[in-house]
Amino acid sequence: MNREQGFITPLHKRTKRDYVARVTEADKAECAEVATRWGYDYWDGDRHYGYGGYHYDGRWKVVAQAMIDAYALSGSPRILDVGCGKGYLLHEFKELLPQAEVVGLDISTYALENAKQEVKPYLMQGNATQLPFADNHFDLVYSITTLHNLEIYDLQKALVEMERVGKGTTYMATESYRNEREKMNLLYWQLTCQSFFSVQEWLWLFKTFGFSGDYEFIFFE
């Protein structure tokens, strides 16, 4: 049964964005092409290409604690992050639950090579559409602002894979929109989004693809 969560929206709302400048100050198409190489430019280069410098600052600790509380995690749970980036959230899980078995998977070689040092041993390169794990292996499987980067046919594969390797507790966060203003802002701001859907469309896809996990929508207000 899907439930809407609010783990990362407070972090998302802390960032100020000039949506119009995103498309007037640089060649947006070129920036998107560079961003989808998932290299230095996307993570630590100019803001036009992505994060503009993605460094550890401890902000993900509150997210990890909220997820631990929501899913009653304790002891030594098995946790999988699909699209882990530099592993900052997994680092916080290990800090809060030292006995946890954490695993992170990401397509970006650069992100993995520049990940938080403490969690590097738990990270691997891979694709969300083919998770190299046994059925029902993880107590929690989550993916944050990653799956919207997939075309719809690969999105279906990724959601099915998350369900397969989890024991029933899955969660994903994705960009979406509720009205025309948020739709335009998302179009202006995004660089890598391929699955560009309204809330209603996402909910329909969850049902159609058999995804029973929790979800969170990120809006560009």
Residue 171 forms part of a structural domain: yes
Residue 65 forms part of a structural domain: yes
Residue 138 has pLDDT above 90, yes or no: yes
Determine whether 137 is exposed, middle or buried from the number of CB atoms within 10 Å of its CB (0-12, 13-18, 19+).
Answer: middle
What average pLDDT does the chain have? 97
**Stretch 24-42: mean pLDDT, rounded?**
96
How much of the chain, in percent, has pLDDT values that exceed 70? Answer: 100
| Residues β-bridged to residue 166 | 138
Residue 211 forms part of a structural domain: yes
- Full residue range of the structural domain in which residue 113 is found: 9-26+59-218
The answer to which of 15-19, 70-74, 177-181 has the lowest mean pLDDT is: 15-19
Residue 186 forms part of a structural domain: yes
For residue 109, how many other CB atoms are within 10 A of its CB?
11
Tell me which residue of 177, 174, 175, 162 sits closest to 210, measured CA to CA. Answer: 162
Residue 126 forms part of a structural domain: yes
Domain at 123, CATH number: 3.40.50.150
pLDDT of residue 1: 72
Residue 110 forms part of a structural domain: yes
Tell me which residue of 160, 221, 217 sits closest to 6, measured CA to CA. Answer: 217
Residue 155 forms part of a structural domain: yes
**Stretch 120-128: mean pLDDT, rounded?**
98
Tell me which residue of 139, 154, 159 sits closest to 80, measured CA to CA. Answer: 139
- Count up the domains in the chain and report the number: 1
- Residue 55: which pLDDT band, with cuts at 50, 70 and 90? very high
Residue 73 forms part of a structural domain: yes
Contacts of 212 (CB under 8 A, 6+ apart): 1, 2, 163, 168, 170, 206
- Residue 165: which pLDDT band, with cuts at 50, 70 and 90? very high
pLDDT of residue 96: 98
pTM attached to this predicted model: 0.97
CA distance 155 to 130: 11
Write phi, then psi, for 199 (nearest 5 degrees). -55, -45
